[in-house]
A and B are shown apart, each in its own frame.
Chain A
């Protein structure tokens, strides 16, 4: 959805609203707590990475149920998936939702960038005249917003005191019932297999976008003969290596993330390398490689493909909930020279292989 059309959509009452209520600061949309088909479809599209951009709702104040001057104010991001999860979890409650302009990005990432931040919150409180809508001076923020919001500064500038609520919206009802107290489960991020699986499309997608380049390189290499590029040679010689390439992408972008805690070693690069190694071994067994006892080609497969899987697995650090910058930096410091080295040696071996094959030596 384009930002320009949002204003229009807002005036025309979005499908996820259920009327309006009047406040001293003007008319405010009341939200429906139920998801309709476009909401589910939007979730699938944004999770798959196909149409991730600009999945947004208009920033501002919204109502859930029949909130009064004493009702809680929950602050959230304007990424529609985040907003949808919050309104669904607040079903049956009477509350206000203050949506910040995070450029259609979720709380965690927006807080890291600073768009879910102190200034935006202070400005949004002013723009919505929140102090006229509620009598109290309390805000409940998603805990992960703390990366971008300095609670003390917000209180100094607006008078509103911030409580950081649970990490996940689904824990809000229990948090409120417990008198705004969090259990340790509510304040720590879990990273379950399901959490990891829903992130894998975003790992596979970019890797597969680059795959045609690798495939073209492999086919060109096998097809290249003194008399030109031969299609038949390219296909029959290259096919096993295309399979090896696919296995490495799957190993790094799917198997490693999915089985993360069960793969030995803490380093993502090593985890990805191990999975890649197993994948290459499995493909060799299945396809009865190497053909014609070509050990040189086998050395290249074992050298290059696990390293490729390792590199792809390392990208998953960007989606995890527990990897820090210093750790990733350490991995890259060792990893990048290894990746470059292995690729260069693989290329040299392949050139040597071609020279031998053509009988130039």
Chain B
């Protein structure tokens, strides 16, 4: 469906240390937004602003080259966590599956 829809620019907490990259390609395999590509046997960030902070890359990088403050990009979850002081999660009241498609 054409180009991916972009969200706010310059907000992602994604950081990547290329010197730690061993070139396994896991980040390219797991990123659902196409943020990473392999360039010269190393991963490279090609569209940083598409990062949605899901955390798949950081969780699966064996070499600790990637870090991101992962979390849900969900207004209801964030408002809930502001009100209750808890961690933002998808459990917007009731039992779990109420808000995720």
Contact = CB atoms under 8 A, between A and B. Distances in A.
Contacts of A188: 4, 32-34
A350 interface: no
A109 B59 CA distance: 16
Contacts of A322: 4-7, 33, 50, 52, 73
B73 A187 contact: no
Interface stretch (A7-15, A59-67, A86-94, A146-154): A146-154
Interface stretch (A237-245, A281-289, A324-332): A324-332
Interface stretch (A99-107, A216-224, A293-301): A99-107
A52 interface: yes
A324 B101 contact: no
A112 B55 CA distance: 9
Contact of A328 (B4, B74, B98): B74
Q: Is the interface of B mostly helix, strand, loop or mixed?
A: loop
B52 A147 contact: no
Interface stretch (A24-32, A122-130, A192-200, A225-233): A192-200
B72 interface: yes
B101 A319 contact: yes
B95 to A, nearest CB: 6
A147 B97 contact: no
A328 B97 contact: no
Interface string A323-358: 111111111100010000000000000000000000
Interface in B36-73: 50-56, 59-60, 62, 69-73
A267 B97 contact: no
Given A193-B1, A326-B12, A109 B7 contact: no
Interface string B72-101: 111111110010000011111011111111
Nearest to A319: B101
A147 B56 contact: yes
A187 B12 contact: no
A360 interface: no
A108 interface: yes
B26 A112 contact: no
Contacts of B96: 103, 105, 109, 113
Given A105-B100, A322-B52, A147 B90 contact: no
B8 A267 contact: yes
A318 B5 contact: no
A172 to B, nearest CB: 15
A247 interface: no
B75 A321 contact: no
A149 B54 CA distance: 12
A196 to B, nearest CB: 10
Interface of B: 1-2, 4-9, 11-13, 26, 28-34, 50-56, 59-60, 62, 69-79, 82, 88-92, 94-101
15 contacts: A53-B97, A79-B97, A109-B90, A112-B90, A113-B89, A143-B56, A146-B56, A147-B56, A147-B70, A188-B33, A261-B5, A314-B75, A321-B52, A322-B33, A332-B75
